[in-house]
Amino acid sequence: MSSMIEVKSVGKSFGQLAVINDCSFSIEKGSITGMIGPNGAGKSTIFNIIAGTLPLDSGNIILDGEDVTNLSADRLFSKGLLRTFQIAHEFSHMTALENLMMVPPKQVGENLFSTWFQPSKVAKQEARNKRKALEVIDYIGLSHVKNELAGNLSGGQKKLLELGRTMMTDAKVVLLDEVAAGVNRTLLKGLTDNILRMNRDFGVTFLVIEHDMDMIAKLCDPVIVMAQGSVMVEGKIEDIQNNPRVIEAYFGSSDIA
């Protein structure tokens, strides 16, 4: 398999504190790769560097064969790299359906000239976006709340909506930031199932930072373990759970979970 993301010798410091140290790993195309480690291991920092929300000090980030080092999040979005957030970032005063319709880039209705002098062109694109949004909201199982204000949705429904927003574009890779946080077990199953379906049906590559080890075990192969700003070990979850170095460094017992 070829790599969708390559992290090459990345370094990042905040003042005198080195947070990421010569960190290198690859995310294979079509994989669902997990990333785990204790607080302070550098997971969120390397995640934000890949997502374009934090500049690196050294090294390179390669996306699908292209060097995208220190490109901004909006430019990465146009290249097919998207992210979700631990706390959902919905447009709370818009409906769930409208949240999805906001996502597609380069909408002609954003141009004042088009809204005044090309209303039929705007209307046609809006209709296309609405059709796709209806398909997506049905796919993720939120049709029953499509007309509800997004701010009124539960935490789990907001996470599903964020996942749906990634489907409104031609996403190549989606970075999931603790998607299980604050989600009840029923909706968590729906989230997990939708991630697996997107991976299977559309070939979307995922990088998942998560503390829920049951979710990691169900979703992810391989799993990357971060330690002191670099990769400690990488492999299948069952091997990692029994790895003495991981047990000793992070968990102090034989039970990772």
Name the CATH architecture for the domain at 3-90+170-251. 3-Layer(aba) Sandwich (3.40)
**Helix, strand, coil shares, percent, the chain, to 5:** 40, 25, 35
Distance between CA 4 and CA 17 in Å, rounded? 30
Determine the pLDDT at residue 257.
39
Which range (2-11, 199-208, 210-219, 246-255) has the least confidence? 246-255
- Per-residue pLDDT tens over the stretch 184-228: 888 888 889 999 999 999 999 999 998 888 899 999 999 999 999
With 0-12 CB in 10 A as exposed, 13-18 as middle and 19+ as buried, what is 6? Answer: middle
Distance between CA 247 and CA 96 in Å, rounded? 42
**pTM of the predicted model, to two decimals?**
0.85
**Tokens 């209307």 map to which residue?**
123
Strand partners, 28: 3
Domain locations along the chain: 3-90+170-251, 91-152
Question: What is the band of 61 on the pLDDT scale with cuts at 50, 70, 90?
Answer: very high
